């Protein structure tokens, strides 16, 4: 097979991109729920004790609901090997985790490969916020920044997908991004591709469906390994 020079921008894309990890957003976890005060006086009324007990039991429950995920899980096992093979032919199915400034808050796994003249790249990130409200705020901000897409039904608490085409040195690249919120966690999937022989990009439908397929696998893995 004859060798084919890659466009400059896409040649850079084939190298490790540790800088992606630096784009993580730092979110601090809220303080843990304060323990109930000890040493109730023995002469308190039974009704007051019952009220205090009810308040104590409901407090941790509300806190747990507001922060379902305490840290970002490992992203590389979140996409099944068969899915990796179908989306990124020729890539190592184990993936490569990109270094992060804070692995409790953000972790990203990457797969990329050049199969003949076809190039594919897949990133899956898990990001954890301090609360559902903070995650929803971040989610809405990103959706606004990436206008032109649409909602993805049945994926997490809310999900959004967008696909864009770029051209550089006559080489097309089509990239799809899927963002999903699950409680206080965000799942972000980026999937793109190019054909270096035709200089055309894969269809919008192929990239969009591929990104959504990876996102569904990642969300399922996140929910399956849910921990407070």
CA 131 to chain CA centroid, nearest Å:
16
Burial 4-25 (b: 16+ CB within 10 A, else e): eebbeebeebeeeeeebbeebe
Q: Band of the pLDDT at 50, cuts 50, 70, 90?
A: very low
CA 176 to chain CA centroid, nearest Å:
13
Beta bridge partners of 113: 120
Diameter of the chain measured on Cα atoms: 90
How far from each other are the two terminal CA atoms of the chain, in whole angstroms?
52
Nearest to 156 by CA among 217, 101, 219: 219
DSSP 20: G
Report how far apart, in Å, the C-alpha atoms of 195 and of each of 55, 117, 121, 171 are.
61, 6, 12, 8
* Spatial distance between the Cα atoms of 49 and 59, rounded to a whole number of angstroms: 15
pLDDT of residue 12: 45
Beta-carbon contacts of residue 54 (< 8 Å; ≥ 6 apart): none
Q: What is the pLDDT of residues 63-73, one digit of tens each?
A: 445 579 999 99
Percentage, residues of the chain above pLDDT 70: 70
**Residue 20 pLDDT > 90, yes or no?**
no
Judge contact between 158 and 177, C-beta under 8 A: no
**Residue 155 pLDDT > 70, yes or no?**
yes
pLDDT of residue 197: 96
More confidently predicted of 189 and 63: 189
Nearest to 33 by CA among 78, 64, 1, 7: 64
Please give the angle made by the CA atoms of 206, 17 and 99, to the nearest 5 degrees.
Answer: 115
Q: Band of the pLDDT at 47, cuts 50, 70, 90?
A: very low
Beta-carbon contacts of residue 44 (< 8 Å; ≥ 6 apart): none
Average pLDDT on 62-91 reads 87
Q: How many residues does the chain have?
A: 228
Domains and CATH numbers, the chain: 69-224 (2.60.120)
Average pLDDT on 18-35 reads 36
Lowest mean pLDDT among 10-24, 79-93, 152-166, 178-192: 10-24
Ordered DSSP codes for 56-95: HHHHHHHHHHH-S-SSPPPSGGGS-HHHHHHHSTTS-TT-
pLDDT of residue 225: 76
More confidently predicted of 222 and 55: 222
Please give the angle made by the CA atoms of 175, 1 and 195, to the nearest 5 degrees.
Answer: 15
In a 10 Å sphere around its CB, with 0-12 CB exposed, 13-18 middle and 19+ buried, how is residue 107 labelled?
buried
**Residue 10 pLDDT > 50, yes or no?**
no
Structure tokens at 35: 């323990």
């Amino acid at each position: 097979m004859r060798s084919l020079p890659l466009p400059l921008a896409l040649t850079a894309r084939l190298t490790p991109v540790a800088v992606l990890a630096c784009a993580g957003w730092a979110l601090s976890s809220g303080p843990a729920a304060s323990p109930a005060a000890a040493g109730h006086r023995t002469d308190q009324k039974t009704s007051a004790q019952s009220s205090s007990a009810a308040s104590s039991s409901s407090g941790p429950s509300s806190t747990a609901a507001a922060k379902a995920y305490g840290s970002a899980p490992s992203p590389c096992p979140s996409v099944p090997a068969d899915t990796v093979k179908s989306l990124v032919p020729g890539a190592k199915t184990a993936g490569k985790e990109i270094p992060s400034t804070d692995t409790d808050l953000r972790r990203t796994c990457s797969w990329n490969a050049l199969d003949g003249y076809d190039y594919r790249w897949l990133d899956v990130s898990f990001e954890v916020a301090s609360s559902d409200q903070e995650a929803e705020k971040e989610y809405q901000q990103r959706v606004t920044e990436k206008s032109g897409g649409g909602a993805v039904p049945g994926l997490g608490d809310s999900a959004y997908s967008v696909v864009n085409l770029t051209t550089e040195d006559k080489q097309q690249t089509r990239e799809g991004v899927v963002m999903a919120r699950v409680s206080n966690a965000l799942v972000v999937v980026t999937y793109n591709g190019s054909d270096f022989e035709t200089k055309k990009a894969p269809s919008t439908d192929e990239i969009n469906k591929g990104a959504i397929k990876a996102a569904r696998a990642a969300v399922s893995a996140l929910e399956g390994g849910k921990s407070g």
